Copies of this chain bind each other. A is one copy, B any other.
Amino acid sequence: MPRYYRYLGELLDEGVERISSNELSLKMNVTASQIRQDLNNFGGFGQQGYGYNVQYLYEEIGRILGLEQQHNIIIIGVGNLGQALANYGSFEKMGFMITGLFDINPALDGHMVRGVPVRMLSELEEFAAGHKIDIAALTMPKHTADKLARRLVNLGIRAIWNFAHVDLELMDQDVVVENVHLSDSLMQLSYNMLRNGKKKERQEKGDTENR
């Protein structure tokens, strides 16, 4: 779904008003029947022979993804990664507003990132009492992540965007966690490189033998 939303947003930017499942299929590198199936699962927006209304589909998928409501995000850990997230303008366009930044480094206290001041982590409870927080992004070292996640859950925060290199051990089923494990992603890349190299070797060997 996020991928559809992204592509439809690009089409809108390009001024495209209607698109057939075949055209979308070519663009997204997915079969047209897969596209029809996916979009039917989510309410069937298409009209046979007319294609999809891009604007309508974009808005509907946005609604399904919960993007029509604003989400307030706090970032815990204002190192390079935390600052990168705070500086992403595109999150705001999707309704994700960075409303709080927290760190334990006193040198960062009061430092502003896009108009949001860095607060000390000790002020978290006070901040949470006065501000609605929907999502907490964790970008601090993994050994502190579990403890902090429990603290966030105790504050009533129901969604964690976890960049710490650990799977959070949360017992609370009500909390949703989305992980971005950069090291895992890099290892996956390494694995695919190796596999690709071996495939190529086999192909070249095959080519030679067939000669």
Contact = CB atoms under 8 A, between A and B. Distances in A.
Question: Interface residues of A toward B: which range?
Answer: 35 or more
B165 A192 contact: no
Number of copies: 2
Contact of A3 (B94, B182, B184): B184
Contacts of A200: 174
Contacts of A85: 182
| Interface class of chain A by DSSP | helix
A11 to B, nearest CB: 13
B188 A2 contact: yes
Interface string A83-96: 11101101100101
A183 B135 contact: no
A196 interface: yes
B192 A2 contact: no
A112 interface: no
Interface in A130-180: 134-135, 158-159, 161, 165, 167, 174, 176, 178, 180
Contacts of A79: 84, 87
B176 A192 contact: yes
Nearest to A169: B29
Nearest to A67: B190
A189 B161 contact: yes
Interface of A: 1-3, 5-6, 28-29, 64-67, 71, 79-81, 83-85, 87-88, 90-91, 94, 96, 134-135, 158-159, 161, 165, 167, 174, 176, 178, 180-194, 196, 200
